[in-house]
Amino acid sequence: QVQLVESGGGLVQPGGSLRLSCAASGSIFSSATMSWYRQAPGKERELVAQINSGYLTYYADSVKGRFTISRDNAKNTVYLQMSSLKPEDTAVYYCNLRAPPVQGFRAYWGQGTQVTVSS
């Protein structure tokens, strides 16, 4: 059983920065793929950034060059550093953990944290 807790969301002005954190329980974090998704009102949930157990990363085109995903396996935590924020980045951001196939390939979700970019 895995539990995920996001933090770091809030209100920020356009051009500003925020750092989201997601802390995971359990012993499978280091072998799992971690992702950040977001969902804006009236839109489908979309993948924003991803980092696998080998530290390979993926970013949506809309955030490339502005967002950075990282992980600290010693702390069982994944981060999303967001810079040059735009109003269109406003959404609820969700942390996702995907266990490796040998451990069931199950997915777990955090509760979400609100990010609002507005002046």
Q: Give per-residue pLDDT as tens, 19-41.
A: 999 999 989 999 999 999 999 99
Q: Has residue 67 got a pLDDT over 90?
A: yes
Helices (H), the chain: none
Query: How high is the pLDDT of residue 1?
Result: 82
- Both tokens of 83, joined, read 């810079």
Question: Which helix (H) or strand (E) covers residue 35, if one does?
Answer: strand 33-39
